[in-house]
Amino acid sequence: MSSDIVLEAIRLERYFRVGRETITVLAGLDLSLARRQRTAIMGASGCGKTTLLHLAAGMDTPSAGSVRLVGQDLNQLSEPDLTHLRARRIGLVFQDFNLIDSLTAAENIRLPLWLNRQREDAEHFASLIDTLAISPLLDRMPSALSGGEKQRIAIARALVHQPDLILADEPTGSLDEATAERVLALFDQVITQSQSALLMVTHNREAASLCDQQLTLRNGLLQPVA
């Protein structure tokens, strides 16, 4: 795999058995993301978009096929190595935010740096805080934040360690239009600075149109958006 390729899914399958029935979610799809590439995936609810993100992050195991992240086959890694790779190389924006209730907003944002024993880039941190307009929120606990505020904190956490791969599940879903535009611009900024790749699941056609590649997941396979 080229050193410019961040993520590669090869003949990726995921199916689930419910009783005697086999439900196929991914049916042997291929996907490749290079550095500085932004890819949006669209599709009907329940078509497997989030499943694909979980497989790309090593949070789920494929039924067949493989996922390679910066050249490493996730299937071949031990759980500790996989956890370390994910913490260092991936920035995750979950639909349900996944903030830690016992940490302040600022502590939630800095969590990837602590896990990676990575020095904070003060300029980058300040840029995230300013662009997302979250300075007044930093000392608050997640229970004191609205859904949109939690989303902005989660986005800052995903970008603070300047990962190789940004995986975003409906990253603008809880945001107003102006904030969503700032978030998408921030993704571009981090992608340029860190030579990251972005894989974004979205129902927002305007957000998808800003990506280099727009794909639809249908019947377990990816195809260009018509």
What are the 10-residue block averages of pLDDT along the chain, 226 residues in total?
84 93 95 96 93 95 96 94 92 92 98 94 95 96 95 95 95 86 89 93 90 95 90
- Written as one letter, the residue type at 173 is G
Q: What is the pLDDT of residue 2?
A: 55
What is 35-61+80-221's CATH number, 1.20.1090.10, 3.40.1390.10, 3.40.50.300, 3.10.310.10? 3.40.50.300
DSSP 106-124: HHHHHHHHHHHT----HHH
Residue 83: CB atoms within 10 A of its CB come to 13
Q: What is the pLDDT of residue 181?
A: 87
- Written as one letter, the residue type at 20 is R
3-state secondary structure the chain: CCCCEEEEEEEEEEEEEECCEEEEEEEEEEEEEECCCEEEEECCCCCCHHHHHHHHCCCCCCCEEEEEECCEEHHHCCHHHHHHHHHHHEEEECCCCCCCCCCCHHHHHHHHHHHHCCCCCHHHHHHHHHHHCCHHHCCCCHHHCCHHHHHHHHHHHHHCCCCCEEEEECCCCCCCHHHHHHHHHHHHHHHHHHCCEEEEECCCHHHHHCCCEEEEEECCEEEECC
Tokens of 46: 């329940």
Q: What is the pLDDT of residue 105?
A: 98
Q: What is the pLDDT of residue 147?
A: 92
Question: How many residues belong to the chain?
Answer: 226
Total-model pTM:
0.92
